[in-house]
Amino acid sequence: RKEVEQDPGPFNVPEGATVAFNCTYSNSASQSFFWYRQDCRKEPKLLMSVYSSGNEDGRFTAQLNRASQYISLLIRDSKLSDSATYLCVVPHRSNDYKLSFGAGTTVTVRA
Amino acid sequence: DTEVTQTPKHLVMGMTNKKSLKCEQHMGHRAMYWYKQKAKKPPELMFVYSYEKLSINESVPSRFSPECPNSSLLNLHLHALQPEDSALYLCASSQETGANTEAFFGQGTRLTVV
């Protein structure tokens, strides 16, 4: 099983819509989870850190389900500028110096 | 301010050239990382430095040689690269290594080997 798995998408949504997608992880001992967004040909930028059951920052909500080992990201009231690839990142099972990246979920918000 | 600065932004080099990528952060972070990213793939870890000491080398070929001159600087020396080494090279830093520390990325160096 891969360390981190994500639905690659793409998720094509109209402006103003809500979009949500999941990330499953194999490291059951992980205490921290991160969502990064990456625009085309740019660096990943930290969007949100999750250390407990979830986190909310404006239109973005992350929910952690430890029993099923997945974390979701929900974007409300989508903006055109939310179009990006969203990377789920979890500390590696064998060495938490290492971060395991999911392959990313592509979101495209259309006008 | 969460800023990691990488230079150069773009680099084209021949297979016999020697070049260096540079990374700098002034956030007092004690862990620094090199990642390689190919198109439409997630970043792949290459090296981790913790307190200026190399703590992880992900079996990277010796044509890539990292160096950490001090706690703010990280270099990646390149020699005799192959065309398949063309990629986006990302530097990152975090306050510490360990599970609960967030990593911040520089803008990357887009490397083309010809």
Render pLDDT for B17-62 as a digit per residue (tens, 0 to 9): 999 999 999 999 999 999 999 999 999 999 999 999 999 999 999 9
Q: Which of B50, B90, B102 sits opposite A34 (nearest CB)?
A: B102
Do residue A46 and residue B102 have CB atoms under 8 angstroms apart? yes
Distance CA A21, CA A19 (A): 7
Q: Which of B99, B105, B110 sits opposite A44 (nearest CB)?
A: B105
User: How is A31-98 classified by DSSP, letter by letter?
Assistant: --EEEEEE-TTS-EEEEEEESSSEEEETTEEEEEETTTTEEEEEE-S--GGG-EEEEEEEE-SS-TTS
Res B1 pLDDT > 60: no
* Chain B residue numbers touching A62 (CB-CB < 8 A): none
Residues A37, A47: contact at Cβ < 8 Å?
yes
Determine the distance in angstroms separating the CA of A42 from the nearest CA of chain B, rounded to an integer.
Answer: 6
User: Which regions in chain A score pLDDT beneath 50?
Assistant: none
CA-nearest residue to A90 within chain B is B99
